[in-house]
Structure 1
Amino acid sequence: MYLVVGGTGAAGSRIVAELVSRGMQVRVLTRGNRRAKDDGVSFVRGDLLTGAGLAEATANVHTVIDASDGKTPRSQRVLTDGAENLMQACWASGVERAVLLSIVNVDQCALGYYRAKAEQERLFSTANRNNVVVRSTQFHEFLGMMWSTPSRARVLPVFTHTSFQPIDLRDVAAAVVDAARSESLGAGSGRQQITIGGPEILSMRELARQWTFARQAQGKTRHRALTVPVHVPGKFGAFLRAGRNLVPDDAVTNGVTFGQWLSEK
């Protein structure tokens, strides 16, 4: 049995679908009321912050996959206090492995959200030597979300001297499930972390050009948005300009490109 935490979110739902496609039994932790779907996925209520329901959620579970998120300062406790509660429940229930979805070089940026994710990684890695952290570059959806609102005013903010290596959520899900099932990771292997990145590195300006062209081709807009250079200040801007959001060649996935994802959308 696999338990997916954050299994109703964008990344989590893809991970659930990947597990189901491989014939795995899947349980999803949710804060709301859900009933089992036709594919056999079961839902259990629980709360990472209070710990309520975590014992029931982790009972008879072999592997936990955590795709939870908390980007606002108020919700970041889900990543820290929530991870501590989840690891305690895993230990008490005898869960053999927990896999965490995280961000490339998250421990090299002082942004509050990144600090919380880095602490989440630490809690996972120290709780059980069999646990695995999967660090990923930004999802294709990240850029779409960033541009959807300003594009209505025919403006696209473009970070100066910044490139991205966006990755498709289906490729992320496959890598996470592979890590969950791998015998070459975790205790005894000396490897508790893997890194994955999208198939191509493109400047943010080029990504904006592709995004605008795709929207015009699909009839979503008749006007070309104006790209506006934006200098991202502080340590996060320095992190991006240094290319620390990118991965080396041996971590590149041969998956869906940003352009291919746009054509699907």
Structure 2
Amino acid sequence: MKIVVIGGTGLVGSQVVDRLKGRHEVVAASPQTGVDTVTGAGLAGALEGAQVVVDLSNSPSFAEEDATRFFRESTSNLLNAEAQAGVRHHVILSIVGAEGIDSGYMRAKVVQEDLVKASEAGWSIVRSTQFLEFLGSIADAATVDGVVHMAPVRFQPIASADVARIVAEVAAGAPLAGTVEIAGPKVFAFDEIVRTHLASHGDRRRVLTDPGATYFGAPLTDGELVPAGPARLGEISYEAWRAAQA
């Protein structure tokens, strides 16, 4: 089976490619390999003979207008090219809680999901919680005058390796015509896991528990960063992931 991974050179994409190669014909497609989903350049050639497309592309801008334009144009071009090529399964990676968090980027991801759901081909949506790899970036974005402001809400981060494993399994299977949510094996308090993570790196910044703290500019209420219902859980604990990073 030929599987094309859009964004196949990125953090998750490269791991999805590694998991699928050897068992399937896998193409890692990205602007670096001459495939641009926004302009359509290289799409027809990359998709020729493909049965599955995994879309892990991402907007270069998190601004709502830019991100919405990216996901609308990229997804529409992909779905049209897939119809021409006879692709039978379209898989995307989205975000747990995207419809509830007051964020322009999250609304753009919902636009992407809706386009996929409206397509006539088979499709699957994998919604993930935040990656463990981004804990440092989260702390940096929440830092004001040297103090990290974190809301005391539930947080269930997942290792990107677990994300890649599950996405690869979904891609190799039959279309779900639905959404599966995935998350890490343990629920933390958001402020506590960031405090623990910074301390493990010798980062002396104070983490302030702040109910009014935002998440990349978006206000938070408890429950928005964890699955609302049943979810597939990753196998890699924070402790095991941290040890592997060290």
TM-score tier by shorter-chain length is 0.7 to 0.9
Residues 29 and 57, structure 1, Cα contact 8 Å, conserved in 2: yes
Q: Under a length normalisation based on structure 2, what TM-score does the superposition of the two structures give?
A: 0.87
SS at 1:250 equivalent = coil
- Aligned equivalent of 2:169: 178
Q: Note the 1:215-234 alignment, pairs <5 A.
A: 215-216=201-202, 224-230=204-210, 231-232=212-213
Give the one of 39, 49, 52 matched to 1:60.
49
Map of 1:229-240 to 2, 5 A cutoff? 229-230=209-210, 231-232=212-213, 236-237=218-219, 240=220
| Aligned position for 1:260 | 240
The residue aligned with 1:41 is: none
Task: Report the counterpart of residue 15 of structure 2 in structure 1.
Answer: 14
What's 1:36 paired with?
none
CA distance in 2 between counterparts of 1:109 and 1:204 reads 15
Does the C-alpha gap of structure 1 residues 229 and 206 become closer, same or farther in structure 2, counting only changes over 3 Å? Answer: closer
1:59-104 per-position Cα deviation (integer Å, ceiling 9, x unaligned): 1111000111114223542211110111000001000101000001
- Unmatched 5+ residue regions in structure 1? 33-43
Gaps of 5+ in 2: none
The 2-side partners of 1:16 and 1:169 are apart by 13
Q: Percent identity?
A: 29
Change (3 A) 1:9 1:164: same
TM-score (norm 1): 0.81
2:3 is the alignment partner of 1:2: yes
Task: Give the Å deviation of 1:52.
Answer: 1.8
- Paired residues, number: 238
Letter in 2 for 1:26: V
Selected match of 1:193 from 179, 203, 213: 179
Q: Secondary structure at the match of 1:11?
A: helix
Amino acid at match of 1:100: I
Deviation at 1:54, TM superposition (A): 1.1
Return the match for 2:138 from 125, 137, 146.
146
User: What RMSD over aligned residues (CA atoms) do the two structures have, in Å?
Assistant: 2.4
2:88 to 88, 96, 105: 96
User: By how many angstroms is 1:202 displaced?
Assistant: 0.4
**Residue among 118, 121, 130 paired with 2:113:** 121
Partner of 1:245: 225
Amino acid paired to 1:72: F
Q: Secondary structure at the match of 1:131?
A: strand
Equivalents in 1 of 2:100, 2:187: separation in Å? 20
Question: Conserved in 1, the CA contact under 8 Å of 2:67 and 2:108?
Answer: no
Measured after TM superposition, the shift of residue 148 of structure 1 is 5.3
Structure 2 residue aligned with 1:87: 79
Task: Give the conservation status (yes or no) of the 8 Å contact 1:210–1:259.
Answer: no
**Which of the pair is proportionally richer in strand?**
2
